[in-house]
Structure 1
Amino acid sequence: MLLAPAEDPEIQSVFSWLRKLPVADIYTDSIRNSIDYVLDGSRTGRFDLLSPEVHPGERASVGAKLEYEVLRNFALPKKKPLDTEISGVPVDIKATAGNNWAIPSEAHCQLCLCTQIQLKKNRHRTWLVRAHRSWLYRGKGNNDGKRGLAVHAREHWSIPLYDWAPLPVNPLRYLSDEVAQQVLADKPGQVERLLIMFRALEGKVIPRNTLLTVARSHDPMRRVRDVKRAAAAEGLTLFCGRDAMAARGISLQPGEWIAIRDNAAESTSPTHTDAD
């Protein structure tokens, strides 16, 4: 009888494969992409998954989307009998925004990647766990035969892949209600809405999806010259990508922007909107 994960050759094989990768960073990107997909900000104007405007069913669908984001970002195949296969071992991918996971019958006794997302605290963590039937809550489970994972199994029969990792906060959440309404209003036009946003979020890094939400366009910076010109008129300089890195040494990811006031540009450090 196996008494610890160290005695499980399959869990050790999968863990050995994963430990070579920046797992926390990959999961952070995957979760953020899944949330952005569900919010669909460019069409709905939504930017907060906990908003009353988001149906509970939509929040629950983040986990389903996350499965495909994890497969894509880890370059893993979609492969039966579970979600994927790592080092020749079947692995199921599960996520919860609560305290437990719904383990389907086909994943009983199998290896699972179990991710916990705490939306209010903007953080997440993931375990590699053997979901043995004896470690699942007793009973028939729900109508699909899914059963929750016992706390004991998570604590004693799993390998934490990383400690709590921060989830980036959509910078629109830092706006007051009044400014948020202006930024997301139908009028004025795209240039003015973006200008209001950059003005209110001076010094904060603005990711591409935030631009999509405000501009409500798949090409939000199509009129970037107009936005830059309007910003410059009030002392704000907009930077992105290589331009920012060359001019100020500011590190931005592809698609990210930042507005810096000219008289503070030399001394201001950018603020990434990650959770503390």
Structure 2
Amino acid sequence: MSRGRLILQKPGEICTNSDAGVHVLREPADDSEAQAVLAWLRPFDVAGLYTGAIANAIDYVLDGARTGRYDLLGADVHPGEKASVGAKLEYEVLRSFNLPKEPPLDTRIAGIPVDIKATVGSNWAIPSEAHCQLCICTQIQLGQSRHRSWLVRTHRSWLYRGTGNRDGKRGLAVDARERWSTPLYDWTPLPVNPLTLLTREQADRVLARQPGQERRFTMLFNYLEGHIIPRSVISTVGAGKHDPVRRARSIRKNLARDGLTLLCGTFPDQRDLAAAHKITLGPEDWIALRTEGDSGHAGGEHVGAP
């Protein structure tokens, strides 16, 4: 059956998947297992936890601390690496929701088997063992830095056969996703890596092998004044070098000469100073601010400074 000729069966009709036994297609509201999974997820900030899990999966694939890469859409990232974000995301989601890795699918939620799928394209590869099972399907749009997810029972009647696919994987019909799935959350922004805000020339300077780390970190914080810099960016700029965090800490006086105060979220007083400027620093976040006139912090000298 080709993609252009798929005629969807409707809820109330019999699914064509004989492997799963004769069963009726149901709308989400009539699917007791789907409702149990939704009830289990309800107390969670699903969008927030998925945002963190996707960001971690992307960081893992880029491996910036060793490769110096920071953009999944960069020419130095192989298409296969982009696709592997979904595989890594599965484990990040399990960790974020404290779920077990448990067969026959990826996990069990409220005792019900659930598969976790993600795509950086427009569809998912649903394996044969997940046909007619509950799946959390996540779509990641890298170019627009956003994501969304649905809970859907991937009935074989709603799956495309595909072409040249010998392992039984099929794609989910868009109409089935739109009509007979339950959105877990709408489009949600992904964190933007601050390095992608640099011009090409600035990025080349910051990520060059020379000069040394301290001069390159000084350039980084000058270029990105007022932007939160997560620790992963520090590791990327110092890729392959010894102790880049210590090198970043040592540039405080350099930045002070430029009128900038370097704040590190490791220290409560520096988080408080950032909060006074309406900025929330995480425990591993950094930022360079112009803070002239802040009591006790003139010239970049702070109590508990790194």
When the two structures are superposed, what TM-score results if normalisation uses the length of structure 2? 0.83
Counterpart-to-counterpart distance in 1, 2:115 and 2:242: 33
Q: 1:168 to 1:144 in 2, by over 3 A?
A: same
Query: Given the alignment, which residue of 84, 90, 94 partners 2:117?
Result: 94
Q: In the alignment, which residue of structure 1 is the partner of 2:287? A: 258
Q: 1:9 to 1:196 in 2, by over 3 A?
A: same
Q: 1:99 to 1:264 in 2, by over 3 A?
A: farther
Counterpart-to-counterpart distance in 2, 1:64 and 1:218: 30
- 1:195-214 to 2 correspondences below 5 Å: 195-214=218-237
Of stretches 132-141 and 166-175 in structure 1, the one that deviates more from structure 2 is: 132-141
Q: 1:140 to 1:173 in 2, by over 3 A?
A: closer
How big is the shift at 1:262?
Answer: 3.3
Q: 1:237 to 1:89 in 2, by over 3 A?
A: same
Asked if 1 retains the 8 angstrom alpha-carbon contact of 2:274 and 2:281, the reply is no
Q: In the alignment, which residue of structure 2 is the partner of 1:28? A: 51
Asked if 1 retains the 8 angstrom alpha-carbon contact of 2:99 and 2:107, the reply is yes
Paired letter, 2:263: F
Q: 1:259 to 1:265 in 2, by over 3 A?
A: farther
- 1:12-91 to 2 correspondences below 5 Å: 12-91=35-114
Of stretches 229-238 and 26-35 in structure 1, the one that deviates more from structure 2 is: 229-238
The answer to whether the aligner puts 1:243 opposite 2:269 as a matched pair is yes
Q: Which has the larger radius of gyration?
A: 2
Asked if 1 retains the 8 angstrom alpha-carbon contact of 2:263 and 2:274, the reply is no
Counterpart-to-counterpart distance in 2, 1:265 and 1:8: 59
Asked if 2 retains the 8 angstrom alpha-carbon contact of 1:140 and 1:147, the reply is no
Paired letter, 1:103: I
Q: In the alignment, which residue of structure 2 is the partner of 1:4? A: 27
Q: In the alignment, which residue of structure 2 is the partner of 1:220? A: 244
Counterpart-to-counterpart distance in 2, 1:193 and 1:134: 56
How big is the shift at 1:223?
Answer: 3.2
Of stretches 37-46 and 112-121 in structure 1, the one that deviates more from structure 2 is: 37-46
Three-state SS of the structure 1 residue aligned to 2:88 is helix
Query: Given the alignment, which residue of 143, 155, 171 partners 1:132?
Result: 155
Counterpart-to-counterpart distance in 2, 1:244 and 1:82: 45
Counterpart-to-counterpart distance in 2, 1:48 and 1:225: 25
When the two structures are superposed, what TM-score results if normalisation uses the length of structure 1? 0.92
Q: 1:225 to 1:139 in 2, by over 3 A?
A: closer
Asked if 1 retains the 8 angstrom alpha-carbon contact of 2:25 and 2:155, the reply is no
Residue by residue, what CA displacement relative to the aligned partner does 1:45-69 show, whole Å, maximum 9, x if unpaired?
1111001110101111111110111
Counterpart-to-counterpart distance in 1, 2:248 and 2:234: 11
Three-state SS of the structure 2 residue aligned to 1:223 is helix
Paired letter, 2:125: A
How big is the shift at 1:228?
Answer: 1.0
Three-state SS of the structure 1 residue aligned to 2:160 is coil
Asked if 2 retains the 8 angstrom alpha-carbon contact of 1:212 and 1:218, the reply is no
How well do the aligned residues superpose, as a CA RMSD in angstroms?
1.7
Paired letter, 1:124: H
Count residues with an aligned counterpart: 266
Q: In the alignment, which residue of structure 1 is the partner of 2:132? A: 109
How big is the shift at 1:218?
Answer: 7.3
Unaligned runs of 5+ in 1: 267-276
Q: 1:187 to 1:37 in 2, by over 3 A?
A: same
Paired letter, 1:247: L
How big is the shift at 1:164?
Answer: 0.2
Counterpart-to-counterpart distance in 1, 2:105 and 2:181: 18
Q: 1:125 to 1:218 in 2, by over 3 A?
A: farther
Q: 1:140 to 1:193 in 2, by over 3 A?
A: closer
Three-state SS of the structure 2 residue aligned to 1:221 is helix
Q: In the alignment, which residue of structure 1 is the partner of 2:15? A: none
Counterpart-to-counterpart distance in 1, 2:66 and 2:162: 43
- 1:143-154 to 2 correspondences below 5 Å: 143-154=166-177
Query: Given the alignment, which residue of 158, 164, 167 partners 2:181?
Result: 158
Q: 1:189 to 1:106 in 2, by over 3 A?
A: same
